[in-house]
Amino acid sequence: MTANNIIELKNIDVTFHNGDQTVKAVQAVDLTIEKGDIYGIIGYSGAGKSTLVRVINLLQTPTNGTVTVNGQQLQQLAPAALRQARQKISMIFQHFNLMKSRTVLGNVEYPLLSQKISQAARQQKALQLLKLVGLADYAQTYPARLSGGQKQRVAIARALASDPEVLISDEATSALDPKTTKSILALLKKLNQDLGLTIVLITHEMQVIKSICHNVAVMDAGQIVERGRVAQVFTAPQAPLTVDFVETSTNVKAAIERITNTIDLAGLAANQELMYFNFIGNATKEGIISQYSQQYQLDVNILFANIDQIDGENVGYMIAIITGDLAAFNPAIAKRVADGVKTKIITTENGLEGLA
Amino acid sequence: MAALIPNVISMKSEFIQATLETLYMTFGSAIIAAVLGLALGVWLVVTQPGGILADRVTYSILDKLTNLLRSVPFIILLAVISPLTNFLVGTTVGTTASLVPLIFGIFPFYARQVQNALLDVDHGVVEAAESMGSSPSEIIFRVYLKEGLPDIIRVSIVTVISLIGLTTMAGAIGSGGLGDIAISIGYARFENDITLVATLIILILVFAVQIIGDWLAKKVEHN
């Protein structure tokens, strides 16, 4: 383990037995997360993300594999030492999980109750954390009176009370509206920058990954199917699931469905084709379509276009009906793959599967 | 007044005595049954599958034991338990002797009620406490019993009211109390006003417990 890796999961399996049924929730997952990273794990529900992150603090004991956090192999720790280690691995949840019998201040004080500090010092620390999340005025309020976003802020303050090294976010923004989600993500980003907090977050929304994560792992059926830098994974997705996430988040998927439903593909003329274009990086700045349309005398009827920024990189998507000398145009534009241009002819059978 | 309830007027001191006996039996057994019932209820919740100290064997034993104790009809329990009563109290008759069967009659019922109340505590909150490094005893006292308090108060009201009901049967082993007056004097001597007034006092006790309990539950609840 290198000094920089704060979390190392090796060969993790989690298998549940439910009567005769065996569910392999997590299978042979290796995961290494560097200190100070914001690492996203994305997948649809049932992919095993929640189970996997619960392995990090051993709320879920893996059937196989080793869990090393902060240089400690957690499975070798005695119960008391494990509880000590857990205080450095905080967690926030989709449904906040605040205690409704305690005030906002009382909730933030909770992790400090087992530490040997005076009540005054405890309250002062909790109050400071409430200031940090912008809720100092609500110290004496009970959680039932707060909005979802406020509750999650209290949960974040509580998670910070034990001075954690790692913060695990289990779908923390999934129950919030888009505006609140944005502000919570901004807060997490700030904590990452100011406190050097390592954040592991799981989500089913690509927007969340795109806005704050540096690295991402895509999970499907208990396995990580793709991982890497966010820009790399989402600009050049390899696994079908990753492609699906990208197309859903950029509205390409919906656009294709709409277009293929309204346009009779079989009715296109011989010199017409419905094409999907994907431009990455510098390709988004060039007038590729206008160059080619002049060169090959093409008519381009744009039906959908979108440009997105992923980790600072521009990615463009376009769907258009091309009319003209396709026999010359298609091979010519296909040669531009190295420059970040990808194309695909859409037919009724293929939809968007297997974009070249 | 004397015309309406002639027998009661002449037995005023017996009524006061009987009311005190009922209160003594109810709250004397309630205190001990509360401790036993809370302990058993918590034990059931933490050992049940998925609990913080899940233990299939322990849970199954406790679960069956609770059911077994609850299945004995109280009027029979009064007799069946007499050797234990004799061992603990030194006698099998009288008000204090009745505490033993009352405790055993009510605490398994209370334990079940407590178990159900604690099961309503959000599992996510328990998980959050675990993730913050809380020990099982911290989770029991700082999460389960604190978060579950309003419901625990509510089930305690139900239990105390049932217990008042049980004390009236304890007259069968010479416990005295309002039930005893109603049956062995009011019913046996056809002095209906005695039965009626004994019933009224019991109703007043029940309402008082209900009102105080509701007020307390509301006070500790922050929904």
Q: Which residue ranges form the domains of chain A, and what is each CATH number?
A: 5-236 (3.40.50.300), 250-345 (3.30.70.260)
The whole-number average pLDDT for the span B205-219 is 96
**Nearest Cβ partner of B132 from A80, A101, A111?**
A111
Residue of B nearest to A168 (CA): B131
Q: What is the DSSP secondary structure assignment for residue B182, as one 8-state letter?
A: I
Q: Which of helix, strand or coil describes residue A285? A: coil
Q: What is the chain B residue with the closest CA to A54?
A: B131
| Per-residue pLDDT, A242 | 92
| A chain contacts of residue B132, beta-carbon cutoff 8 Å | 86-87, 90-91, 110-111, 158, 162
**Residue B1 belongs to some domain of the structure:** no
Residue B173 to residue B167: CA distance in whole angstroms: 11
- The tens digit of pLDDT for each residue in B59-73 reads 999 999 999 999 999
Q: Which residues of A touch B134 (CB under 8 A)?
A: 83, 114
DSSP state of A197: -
The 10s digit of each residue's pLDDT in B119-148 is 999 999 999 999 999 999 999 999 999 999
Residue with tokens 């039996």: B25
For residue A139 the two structure tokens come to 């110290």
Chain A residues in contact with B222 by the CB 8 A cut-off are: 100-101, 142-144
Residues of B in contact with A79 (CB under 8 A): 135
Residue B20 lies in a domain: yes
| Radius of gyration in angstroms for the set of CA atoms belonging to chain B, rounded to a whole number | 20
**A242 interfaces chain B, CB cutoff of 8 Å:** no
Q: Per-residue pLDDT for chain A (356 aa), expressed as one digit of tens each?
A: 456 899 999 999 999 988 889 999 999 999 999 999 999 999 998 899 999 999 999 999 999 999 999 999 999 999 999 999 999 999 999 999 999 999 999 999 999 998 999 999 999 999 999 999 999 999 999 999 999 999 999 999 999 999 999 999 999 999 999 999 999 999 999 999 999 999 999 999 988 998 899 999 999 999 999 999 998 888 888 899 998 888 888 888 888 888 888 888 778 888 888 888 888 877 777 778 888 888 888 888 899 998 888 777 788 889 988 888 888 888 888 888 777 788 888 875 555 444 43
Contacts of B130 in chain A (CB under 8 A): 59, 86
- Here the tokens at position B1 are 């007044």
The verdict on B82 touching A (C-beta cutoff 8 Å) is no
Average the pLDDT over B89-98 and give the result. Answer: 93
Q: Which of A91, A97, A101 sits opposite B146 (nearest CB)?
A: A101
Domain that holds residue B84: 6-220
Ranges of H-type helices in chain A: 49-56, 79-86, 104-109, 119-132, 148-160, 178-195, 206-212, 230-235, 240-249, 252-262, 288-295, 326-334
Angle between helices B12-47 and B149-169 (to 10 degrees): 130
In a domain, B24, yes or no: yes
Whole-number Å distance between alpha carbons of B140 and B133: 13
How large is the C-alpha radius of gyration of chain A? 24
Contact across the interface for B133 and A87, Cβ inside 8 Å: yes
Report the amino acid identity of residue A79.
Answer: P
Interface of B with A in 129-168 (CB under 8 A): 129-135, 138, 142-143, 146-147, 149-150
Smallest CA–CA separation between B113 and chain A, in Å?
A: 20
> Domain count of chain B?
1
pLDDT digits (tens, 9 = 90+) for B165-189: 999 999 889 899 999 999 999 899 9
Q: Does the beta-carbon distance from A162 to B133 stay under 8 Å? A: yes
B68 vs B70: CA distance, rounded Å? 5
For residue A205, the tally of other CB atoms under 10 A from its CB is 18
Select the residue of A83, A143, A158 nearest B133 (Cβ to Cβ): A83
* Contact of A330 with A275, CB cutoff 8 Å: no
- The confidence score (pLDDT) of residue A1 equals 45
Q: What's the burial of A272, exposed, middle or buried (CB within 10 Å: 0-12/13-18/19+)?
A: middle
Whether residue B182 lies inside any domain: the answer is yes
Of A247, A196, A236, A188, residue with least CA distance to A212? A188
Q: Is there a contact between A99 and B124 if contact means CB atoms under 8 Å apart?
A: no
Whether residue B205 lies within 8 A of chain A, CB to CB, comes out as no
Whether residue A151 contacts residue A93, with contact meaning beta carbons closer than 8 Å, is answered with: no
- What is the per-residue pLDDT for A348? 58
Cα angle A119-A124-A129, degrees, rounded to a multiple of 5 = 125
Task: Tell me the count of A-B CB pairs closer than 8 A.
Answer: 66
Which candidate, A68, A43, A45, A42, places its Cα nearest to that of A55? A68
Please give the C-alpha separations between residue B84 and each of A146, B65, B90, B169, B199, in angstroms, as whole numbers. Answer: 54, 17, 9, 19, 31
B198 Cβ under 8 Å from any chain A Cβ: no
Cβ of residue B122 closer than 8 Å to a chain A Cβ: yes
Chain B residue numbers with beta carbons less than 8 Å from the beta carbon of A89 are: 131
Here the CATH number for the domain that contains residue B134 is 1.10.3720.10
Token look-up 């990086």 returns A281
